[in-house]
């Protein structure tokens, strides 16, 4: 079973978060999680292969945006909402409300 590592939020740089959110695919992931709460990777519709999907979750995780835990064969993922709002106030609201 894979053990995911998550960065300490205080050590995440603004440029890293911006970089993570610079891909439409990853923005879609964050929006889906923001609207529907914790989800397994495969519950979010994306037009890319399994491997690419996995890669995008990696990037978001490394940038401190999401938290992933294992549940059976699934990886349940959610937004690190409280911490994000503290470290980058307004960011989440921006992503979730921009059309």
- Which residues have C-beta within 8 Å of that of residue 87, sequence separation ≥ 6? 9, 10, 12, 64
Q: Single out the segment in contact with a second copy by CB under 8 A; choices: 21-29, 33-41, 52-60, 68-76.
A: 21-29
CB atoms within 10 A of CB 78: 15
CB of 48 to DNA, least distance (A): 3
Q: Does 54 bind DNA (CB under 7 A)?
A: yes
Q: Does 5 bind a second copy (CB under 8 A)?
A: no
Q: Does 1 bind DNA (CB under 7 A)?
A: yes
List the structure tokens of 75.
């990886």
Q: Residues 17, 56, 66, 95: which binds DNA (CB under 7 A)?
A: 56
Q: Which residues of 6-31 are buried (b: 16+ CB within 10 A; e: fewer)?
A: beeeeebeeebbeebbeeeebbebbb
Residue 20 or 84: the one with the smaller Cβ distance to DNA is 20
Kindly list the residues in this chain that would bind DNA in the complex (CB under 7 A): 1-2, 4, 19, 22-23, 25, 40-42, 47-59, 68, 72-75
């Amino acid at each position: 079973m894979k053990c995911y590592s998550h960065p300490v939020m205080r050590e995440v740089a603004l440029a890293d978060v911006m970089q993570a959110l610079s891909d439409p695919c990853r923005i879609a992931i964050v929006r889906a999680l923001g609207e529907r709460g914790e989800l397994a990777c495969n519950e979010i519709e994306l037009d890319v292969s399994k491997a690419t999907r996995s890669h995008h979750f990696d990037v978001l995780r490394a940038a401190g945006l999401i938290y992933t835990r294992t549940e059976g064969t699934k990886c349940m993922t959610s937004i690190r909402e409280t911490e994000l709002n503290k470290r980058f106030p307004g960011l989440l609201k921006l992503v979730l409300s921009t059309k």
